[in-house]
């Protein structure tokens, strides 16, 4: 719908259901008589009775298009363009604004305004659908009157087993307000079905996951991070291992959207953490076609496949952020995607020196997958603040920590070959003469920082098959 033009001169927006608008009714009539005024009334075409030039805006089209948030609002228009506005009643402001003296004799000097009907929470979404001009291209599905919408969405296979929020047109348009990107922009070709996935499709699934609009840029970046040949989401689905993506968020956006990097950072309770990861998985399911028992062949799966996302504690970390370690820019809003098979707790409540704690962390890493599985899997260690402080106090760099942990995981090939130690699993016999075989390949160990300040714990996120045959960690900047 075309934005209605305002007439030149002074323009007022009012509603009867506003004590301040009632208070200034005669003031508006005085302004109209002395210099001219056009008044738009939101809820009663007969209000204010003292004003002659009233325009019925009970449909709220003019108010919505001109972003009226408070009534009364007084606007000056010149050559069809707004040049200035004030809200509420203030004699000190209204007199110079109108160029008139002695306005509102006998009235209080100041009174606040009321909320405009065009931003009323009960009306705003419907008004956006009616007036925004945005078109949702996705097909509409109408449920029968006696259908339960939550159960019907489950029966149609749109959910992850938990209830989802119905993606109405109003909710999707509100979600799209969270990004400057066009709804029709193709974000990725979503695996496994290789379907064009638009911003609109991501927004629909973000609604279903329970996201707020301000989370949408993070969800879009997460989708970009996993839907590419480097990350290999198709392979992650097709494997019988329980692998799924974890999304780690860096940058100031963590604070703006209220993410959690402290108590229970990898658990429940935080809306942004929980719904961003869930939205990503719903996109893979509903757009890409990655459904359990079909392309998703995981033998056991793991809770993180519902959605796994947390923010890094950059401010408390002894080192730079994770995204900067992987080619990004420190301070930049970014997501890092890593294919993990779940979480494993590493406890060490007695080590006070970094060498001893390194040995505990390395011991935890050695058991990843199978104690004799080496070089095939990357890993992420998420250090809790108390563990991280041991390295901070000793002046260790992140590079020094990684190097030492990798050294401590080195074992002779003779202990790792098939049959050694009475375990048939192992590396091929030709590697028996190798002297120092590390658990992870070069560059395969990442260090992040998160968790509450109390607790001498760290978390191991064991990886899936790494390299070109598996999944490679990816970092993507977050676009607005």
Q: What is the Cα 157 distance to its own chain's centre? A: 24
Q: What is the pLDDT of residues 281-290, one digit of tens each?
A: 999 999 999 9
Q: How confident is the model at residue 467 (pLDDT cuts 50, 70, 90)?
A: confident
Average pLDDT over residues 77-95: 96
Which CATH fold topology does 9-121 show? Glutaredoxin (3.40.30)
Cross-strand bridge partners of residue 73:
13, 87
Average pLDDT of every residue of the chain: 95
**With pLDDT > 90 as the criterion, what percentage of the chain qualifies?**
93
Q: Would you call 309 helix, strand, or coil by DSSP?
A: strand
Average pLDDT over residues 193-206: 97
Q: How far is CA 220 from CA 165, 199, 200, 244, 249, in A?
A: 19, 7, 10, 17, 12
In sequence order, the 6+-apart residues with CB closer than 8 A to the CB of 453 are 262, 316, 385, 386
Is residue 279 exposed (0-12), middle (13-18) or buried (19+ Cβ within 10 Å)? buried
Place of tokens 């979404």: 125
Distance between CA 431 and CA 428 in Å, rounded? 6
Q: What is the pLDDT of residues 327-361, one digit of tens each?
A: 999 999 999 999 999 999 999 999 999 999 999 99
DSSP 372-396: T--SSEEEEEEE-HHHHHHHHHHT-
Helix (H) / strand (E) containing 174: helix 169-176
**Residue 136 pLDDT greater than 90, yes or no:** no
Is residue 289 exposed (0-12), middle (13-18) or buried (19+ Cβ within 10 Å)? middle
Average pLDDT over residues 296-304: 95
Average pLDDT over residues 427-447: 93
**With pLDDT > 70 as the criterion, what percentage of the chain qualifies?**
100
Give the pLDDT confidence score for residue 222 in this predicted structure.
98
Q: Would you call 450 helix, strand, or coil by DSSP?
A: coil
**Residue 134 pLDDT greater than 80, yes or no:** no
Give the pLDDT confidence score for residue 1 in this predicted structure.
65
**Residue 252 pLDDT greater than 90, yes or no:** yes
Cβ atoms within 10 A of the Cβ of 159, count?
Answer: 17
The backbone torsions φ and ψ at residue 381, rounded to the nearest 5 degrees and listed phi first, read: -105, 120
31 closest CA partner among 61, 16, 47, 53: 53
Question: CA angle, corner 337, sides to 332 and 340, nearest 5?
Answer: 145
Helix (H) / strand (E) containing 461: strand 457-465
Average pLDDT over residues 262-287: 97
Name the segment(s) of the chain with CATH classification 3.40.30.10.
Answer: 9-121
Instruction: Say if residues 458 and 389 touch (Cβ distance below 8 Å).
Output: no
- The torsion angle over the Cα atoms of residues 40, 42, 43 and 47, rounded to 10 degrees, is -20
Give the pLDDT confidence score for residue 354 in this predicted structure.
97
**Residue 153 pLDDT greater than 80, yes or no:** yes
210 closest CA partner among 339, 335, 128, 307: 307
**Residue 22 pLDDT greater than 90, yes or no:** yes
**Residue 386 pLDDT greater than 70, yes or no:** yes
Distance between CA 396 and CA 354 in Å, rounded? 8
Helix (H) / strand (E) containing 198: strand 195-198
* pTM reported for the whole predicted model: 0.86
Give the pLDDT confidence score for residue 2 in this predicted structure.
83
Give the pLDDT confidence score for residue 376 in this predicted structure.
87
State the first-to-last Cα distance of the chain, in angstroms, to the nearest integer. 25
Give the pLDDT confidence score for residue 137 in this predicted structure.
86
């Amino acid at each position: 719908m075309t934005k209605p033009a305002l007439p030149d001169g002074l323009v007022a927006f009012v509603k009867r259901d506003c004590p301040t608008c009632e208070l200034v009714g005669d003031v508006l009539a005085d302004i109209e008589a002395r210099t001219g005024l056009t008044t738009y009334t939101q809820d009663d075409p007969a209000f204010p009775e003292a004003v002659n030039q009233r325009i019925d805006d009970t449909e709220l089209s003019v108010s919505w298009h001109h972003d009226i948030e408070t009534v009364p609002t007084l606007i000056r228009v010149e050559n069809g363009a707004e040049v200035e506005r004030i809200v509420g009643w203030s004699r000190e402001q209204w007199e110079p604004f109108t160029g008139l003296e002695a306005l509102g004799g006998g009235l209080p000097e100041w009174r606040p305004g009321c909320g405009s009907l065009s931003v009323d929470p009960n009306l705003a979404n419907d008004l956006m659908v009616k007036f925004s001009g945005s078109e949702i291209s996705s097909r509409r599905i109408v449920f029968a009157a006696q259908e339960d919408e939550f159960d019907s969405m489950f029966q149609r296979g749109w959910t992850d087993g938990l209830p989802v929020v119905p993606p109405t047109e109003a909710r999707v348009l509100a979600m799209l307000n969270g990004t400057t990107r066009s709804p029709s922009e193709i974000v990725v070709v979503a695996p496994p079905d290789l379907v064009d996935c638009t911003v609109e499709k991501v927004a629909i699934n973000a609604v279903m996951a329970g996201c707020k609009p301000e989370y949408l840029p993070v969800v879009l970046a997460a989708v970009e991070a996993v839907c590419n040949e480097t990350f290999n989401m198709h392979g992650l689905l097709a494997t019988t291992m329980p692998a799924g993506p974890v999304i780690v968020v860096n940058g100031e956006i963590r604070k703006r959207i209220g993410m959690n990097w402290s108590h229970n950072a990898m658990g429940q309770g935080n809306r942004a953490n929980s719904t961003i990861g869930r939205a990503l998985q719903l996109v893979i399911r509903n757009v890409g076609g990655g459904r359990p028992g079909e392309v998703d062949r995981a033998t056991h799966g793991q809770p993180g496949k519902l959605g796994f996302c947390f923010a890094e504690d950059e401010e408390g970390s002894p080192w730079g952020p994770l995204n900067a370690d992987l080619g990004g820019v420190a301070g930049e809003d970014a997501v890092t995607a890593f294919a993990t098979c779940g979480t494993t707790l590493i406890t060490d409540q007695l080590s006070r020196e970094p060498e001893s704690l390194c040995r505990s962390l390395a011991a935890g890493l050695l058991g990843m997958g199978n104690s004799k599985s080496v070089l095939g899997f990357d890993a992420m260690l998420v250090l809790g603040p108390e563990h991280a402080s041991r390295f901070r106090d000793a002046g260790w760099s992140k590079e020094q920590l990684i190097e030492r942990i990798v050294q401590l995981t080195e074992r002779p090939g003779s202990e790792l070959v098939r049959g050694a130690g009475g375990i048939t699993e192992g590396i091929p016999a030709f590697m028996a003469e190798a002297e120092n075989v590390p658990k992870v390949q070069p560059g395969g160990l990442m260090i992040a920082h998160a968790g509450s300040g109390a607790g001498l714990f760290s978390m191991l996120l064991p990886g899936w098959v790494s390299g070109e045959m598996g999944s490679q960690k990816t970092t993507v900047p977050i676009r607005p």
